[in-house]
């Protein structure tokens, strides 16, 4: 939170208008302000009318943010950030994990569409994380998905010996956000290069499904090392 507070400090020069200059800090500020309105119940109707539909049909999409979030129905990304049509390139998958499809979608958005901010958004009470931590008996393709979360679980378990799985679930949810960012940096030169150039910011966020607030985690603590 402290790191994100520093990032946000001094960035409130723009009003409620959405990002126009593809600046990572301005994009992050817009998401931050939208979430504040959402939490307060003060959402404004923005980019949801017929003109917006026509403009994005004729002119194409120009989202200002990419968000990789969980598929959980309690995580309505556009509502959380009080934005509208064409504003967020929204990628959803259970457990906000990174598979090949998610990586390709991120790379398309940040490279071809030029979104300046990427948020890896986890959330409280994540069922996918709970299933991975409790080693739930699952079938079909679900074991593949849960295997993507288990590295985060193993890290937390090693740091917290003696704790029950249920006790460390909240910590694993946050660690899973960091692990997804690490996984992305390891696998995507496209993302790494844009971060190096300063034209893309990658941050973690933790959405509270009860309060509606996003706790901004900031950039990965080892980002400079990860993007070398």
Tens-digit pLDDT profile for residues 64-103:
999 999 999 999 999 999 999 999 999 999 999 999 999 9
Residue 16 token pair: 């409620």
State the distance between the two ends of the chain, measured CA to CA, in whole angstroms: 25
Tens-digit pLDDT profile for residues 105-121:
999 999 999 999 999 99
Residue 122 token pair: 């986890």
Q: What CATH code is carried by the domain that includes residue 53?
A: 3.40.1050.10
Which contiguous run of DSSP H or E holds residue 131?
helix 127-133
Instruction: Quote the CA–CA distance of 66 and 191 in Å, as a whole number.
Output: 12
Number of folded domains in the chain?
A: 1
- Is it the case that residue 15 has pLDDT exceeding 60? no
| Strands 214-218, 201-207: pairing kind | antiparallel
Instruction: Quote the CA–CA distance of 81 and 76 in Å, as a whole number.
Output: 9
Parent domain of 109: 2-226
Which among 140, 122, 141, 142 has a CA at the least distance from the CA of 132? 142
- What is the pLDDT, as a whole number, of residue 10? 32
Percent with pLDDT over 90 in the chain: 89
């Amino acid at each position: 939170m402290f790191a994100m507070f520093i990032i946000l400090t001094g960035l409130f020069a723009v009003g409620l208008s959405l990002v126009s200059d593809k600046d990572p800090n301005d994009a992050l500020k817009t998401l931050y302000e939208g979430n504040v309105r959402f939490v307060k119940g003060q959402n404004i109707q923005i980019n949801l009318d017929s003109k917006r539909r026509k403009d994005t049909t004729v002119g194409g999409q120009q989202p200002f943010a990419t968000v990789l979030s969980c598929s959980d129905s309690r995580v309505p990304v556009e509502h959380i950030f009080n934005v509208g049509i064409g504003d967020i390139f929204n990628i959803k998958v259970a457990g906000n994990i990174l598979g090949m499809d998610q990586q390709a979608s991120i790379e398309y958005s940040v490279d071809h569409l030029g979104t300046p901010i990427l948020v890896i958004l986890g959330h409280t009470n994540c069922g996918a994380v709970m299933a991975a931590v409790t080693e739930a008996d699952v079938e079909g393709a679900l074991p593949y998905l849960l295997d993507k979360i288990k590295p985060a679980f193993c890290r937390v378990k090693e740091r917290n010996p003696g704790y029950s799985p249920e006790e460390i679930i909240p910590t694993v949810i946050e660690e899973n956000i960091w692990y997804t960012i690490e996984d992305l940096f390891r696998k995507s030169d496209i993302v790494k290069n844009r971060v190096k150039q300063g034209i893309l910011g990658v941050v973690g966020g933790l959405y509270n499904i009860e309060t509606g607030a996003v706790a901004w985690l900031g950039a990965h603590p080892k980002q400079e090392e990860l993007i070398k």
